[in-house]
Amino acid sequence: MTSESLAYPALVVAHRAGKPAIDPVDLERQWRCPGHPDVSAALVSARLPSVTVSRWTRHDDTPIDVVNPGSDALHCVALNLKSTSLTFVHAGRTLVSGRVTAGAVQVTTPGVATGARFESSSDVLHLFVSQSVLHECYEDLFDRRHNGDLALSEARLIRDPAIERLGQALAVSQTHDAALGKVFTDSVSLAIVSRLVATQFAAAPAQSRDAAALPAWRVRRAIDYVDAHLAEPIGLAEMAESTGLTRMHFAAQFRRATGMRPHEYLLRRRIEHAQSLLRTSPHNVLDVALSCGFRSQAHFTTVFKRFTGDTPHCWRTKAHVER
């Protein structure tokens, strides 16, 4: 099993079954536990290099009591997506009792048990963050390593408009493409963690610091890597590795240099390559879609039309007439 299928099992299965687009965030069967057993097992040993995102959603107003013993190695960042009524217990102390509005954020450090009694429907994103991710964000923010473990120790509810917007972006994201979904989710979840690290350790310097543009030679490396692997799943980590940078550095600098986020560039480049194949090759539309990294003809057609205004078949017909 690949790391991509481990992180996004439901999404990958949906591709293979030809199902409609779904949310790339796993739904939780148990509170603060990712829904897929393989992901849960990996989280216990903290082997996943990226932030893992899952979603706790209840449409029932019947009260329910939930508990979680906490991970020995991972922070849990909770982002409330809708107003709800609950009592939340953190490390044996009642932290909240009453109404919690959408946008509230709460961070639980490793080894801390939590419990809650939900009195109404709820919708919460949970981000599970390893020490390696925290150190990556810290080093990218401050250009230096941090000795020892990092702890986001603020347990109280916090409000941050930037984190709220990023959380909403994760909540509404849908895709047919596992690779693009992973790039997007990695980028947004890392931005959330980076914001939390900056807020705790040096809010003012971190917020005022602008990312430098990616040098032209590193941009070329990223572009060459994408072009050489268009038919394969490409994640943010692979694109960053091709330039010798961490994901956080790469994502910010690439956007500054090109005006596009990495996943936006990847999608645009796949469509450009598809146009070239449709114009010059005898391959049918499905073969073109697969050659450009799409996992289904239906998704390819949807994305292609969004970029060009035509379906692949219509665009090819017009292109041949113009020639």
Contact of 125 with 184, CB cutoff 8 Å: no
pTM beyond 0.75: the answer is no
Parallel, antiparallel or unpaired: strands 75-80 and 52-58: unpaired
Supply the pLDDT for residue 232. Answer: 87
Phi-psi bin for 120: left (phi > 0), alpha (psi -120 to 50), beta? beta
Which residues have a Cβ under 8 Å from the Cβ of 121 and sit 6 or more positions away? 58, 59, 60, 61, 82, 84
The pLDDT assigned to 81 comes to 93
The pLDDT value given to residue 1: 31
Exposed e or buried b per residue across 92-118, where buried means at least 16 C-beta atoms within 10 angstroms of its C-beta: eeebbeeebeebbbbbbbbebebbbeb
pLDDT at 277: 93
Tens of pLDDT along the chain (323 residues) come to: 333 333 333 333 333 344 444 456 788 989 999 765 444 444 544 455 678 999 999 998 999 999 999 988 899 999 999 999 999 999 899 999 999 999 999 999 998 999 999 999 999 999 999 988 998 888 888 878 887 888 887 778 988 999 999 999 888 876 556 666 778 888 899 999 999 998 888 743 444 455 678 888 899 999 999 999 988 888 888 899 999 988 878 888 898 888 888 888 998 899 999 999 999 999 999 999 999 988 888 888 988 988 888 899 999 998 877 76
Helix (H, G, I), strand (E, B) or coil at 61: coil
